[in-house]
Structure 1
Amino acid sequence: MLNHSLIDPTTKHTTDPFPKQEQQPPGLTERMAPLPDHGEQSYRGGGRLRGRRALITGGDSGIGRAVAIAFAREGAQVAISYLPSEQADADETAAWIADAGRDPLLLPGDLSSEAHCNDLVHDTEAAFGGLDLLVLNAAHQRDRGSIEQIPTDDFERVMRVNLFAPVFLARAAVPHMQAGSSIISTSSIQAFDPSSSLVDYAMTKAALVAFTKALAEELGPRGIRVNAVAPGPIWTPLIPATGWPDHVPEFGHDTPLGRAGQPAELAGAYVYLASDEASYVSGAVLPVTGGRGL
């Protein structure tokens, strides 16, 4: 007898090739075809983060938006950081946070600035009365044809956004975090199975794995857990903004599940790591990769 409550993960979301498309970084959701699924209609909260106060970098779109929606529906207060050019996406995310009955805190600015990172922590604490959940999610990537073609200025931006900012933010936040707090980084399958065309991005994601494990060891005695999620190919504005329009149609089709993931399929991993259900989980890297191994 068939169990009609089961959902086939190979067909849960579209397996059709994505249309060829390209955007300038950082990319905007409304220009994507098809639009990503952030769990707007599907995620159901259960109060697992009630009373928590969260700051999510890159919370305007993609994985960050899915996490913001899920955290809000689980009862957390949510602040999101994003570039000023992403205001339209941030406003959309804010509307979904408000729809969950929470008052969103929008914090535009450039994460490559140490001062802005410090301000993000200060402003979140001032608005919410503290900070319990820090999600280090924002990232920058571009297609690199070869090592000779990496422009120094953009290489520096990758390093500052993907590596410097997490250190700046954690350094500012940790002195104010209490036992039971949680830090979650967004690493990547690229940390373990790097693509030559994403060499600098992959470098930073591998470094975040080391950062996660080292910080978990340091903060464990203080009752602060530190973990990472390693997404595989996920359909977010980062993809059409990477600079590989010819690669977009087959994006994600090389996974065992045969398709790209949607941001909504990441939300549960972040909620789990942020919640008390993961009270004995620290220093872990949780893969959400469509079956690709780490």
Structure 2
Amino acid sequence: MTDPRGSQDPDSPRPRPQQPEQEQQHPGSTEEMEPRPDHGEDSYRGSGLLQGRRALITGGDSGIGRAVVLAFAREGADVAFTYLPEEREEAERSRRHVTDAGRRALAVECDIREESRCADLVDRTVAELGGVDILVNNAAYQMSQPKGIGDITTEQFDRVVRTNLHGMFWLSKMCLPHMGPGSVILNTTSVQGYKPSPHLLDYAMTKGAITTFTQGLAQMLAGDGIRVNAVAPGPVWTPLIPATMPETAHFGEQSPLGRPAQPAELAPAYVFLASDRASYLTGEILNATGGTPLP
């Protein structure tokens, strides 16, 4: 409900568990989810916070990535983003959000587990957008293994690490020659980096590493005027959930707000950290956990 001052109850406008039980093949489809995630399509209003900036966002086809693509474009940024081959339809919806906002859009099919593909991605972004001012390392892979470490195959472990860490490392390194004072690197870590769920052991491990990488790189680049921060979401309702989790009906109930976030609720955190309003923030982890206390 909305109070007389215009403030919203954080619970009332959002779906609460139980979501229906649902299962999809990885990487999942937004269109097949019930309820369908909110990326801010009907609610996000920009105010020019990123006017004229050029952003590269990994995993921008759906979930948090799509919400950030939409918000950045409505804030005035030109946006390049990545997607996987099976996410082509999802990527087209994200691309339209950018062009509908009157900004340049570049959707690039790219598996960031491959160093050469990352290099091509950066080269193409610079060529078509004229540079990179903001890098958002958001793409990630997880697969729940309720029976524990014995069921985490080497293939799965390698995919998790190469997607979540190698891609972030390569893209940060490759974008830096094109960045200068005022540029920003944003990483997506997770509540899992602090409070790991046993069934997501390998994923949680990488999210802890992302936090360390963020804080170390921030110190390294502070003298160059380049800020490095991260957002640590709690449970968020994205296609990754029905595609990788054994059950969905109670997903998000563990947060103090008693529900998962919608992607639209995370995007403003990325906008703030990417904007000049966060000019004194670097090496910070912005926790967006629905009230779960973190260190």
TM-score by length of 2: 0.97
Q: CA contact under 8 A between 2:54 and 2:134: conserved in structure 1?
A: yes
Distance 2:54 2:114 in 1: 23
Q: CA contact under 8 A between 1:184 and 1:274: conserved in structure 2?
A: yes
Distance 2:159 2:260 in 1: 27
Partner of 2:178: 176
- Residue 4 of structure 1 and its aligned partner are, at CA, apart by 5.4
- Residues 187-202 of structure 1 correspond to what in structure 2 (within 5 A)? 187-202=189-204
TM-score by length of 1: 0.97
- Residue 3 of structure 1 and its aligned partner are, at CA, apart by 2.1
- Residues 122-133 of structure 1 correspond to what in structure 2 (within 5 A)? 122-133=123-134
Partner of 2:218: 216
Partner of 1:12: 13
Partner of 1:84: 85
Q: CA contact under 8 A between 2:17 and 2:253: conserved in structure 1?
A: no
Partner of 2:240: 238
Letter in 2 for 1:98: T
Gaps of 5+ in 2: none
Q: CA contact under 8 A between 1:23 and 1:243: conserved in structure 2?
A: no
Distance 1:21 1:105 in 2: 32
- Percentage of identical aligned residues: 54
- Residues 63-78 of structure 1 correspond to what in structure 2 (within 5 A)? 63-78=64-79
Letter in 2 for 1:263: P
Partner of 1:26: 27
- Residue 270 of structure 1 and its aligned partner are, at CA, apart by 0.2
Letter in 2 for 1:267: A
- SS of corresponding position for 1:240: helix
Distance 2:122 2:26 in 1: 25
- Residue 169 of structure 1 and its aligned partner are, at CA, apart by 0.3
- Residue 16 of structure 1 and its aligned partner are, at CA, apart by 3.8
- SS of corresponding position for 1:80: strand
- Residues 18-167 of structure 1 correspond to what in structure 2 (within 5 A)? 18-144=19-145, 145-167=147-169
Distance 2:163 2:94 in 1: 21
- SS of corresponding position for 1:239: helix
Partner of 2:268: 268
Letter in 1 for 2:55: A
RMSD between aligned alpha carbons? 0.9
Report Cα offsets for 1:132-191 as digits up to 9, x if no partner: 000000000001121111011111000000000000101101111010000000000000
- Residue 103 of structure 1 and its aligned partner are, at CA, apart by 2.2
Distance 1:28 1:156 in 2: 24
Q: CA contact under 8 A between 1:17 and 1:250: conserved in structure 2?
A: yes
Q: CA contact under 8 A between 2:104 and 2:129: conserved in structure 1?
A: no
Corresponding position: 1:278 with 2:288: no
- Residue 258 of structure 1 and its aligned partner are, at CA, apart by 1.1
Distance 1:6 1:218 in 2: 40
Distance 1:192 1:160 in 2: 20
Gaps of 5+ in 1: none
- Residue 239 of structure 1 and its aligned partner are, at CA, apart by 0.4
Distance 1:216 1:103 in 2: 29
Distance 2:224 2:26 in 1: 39
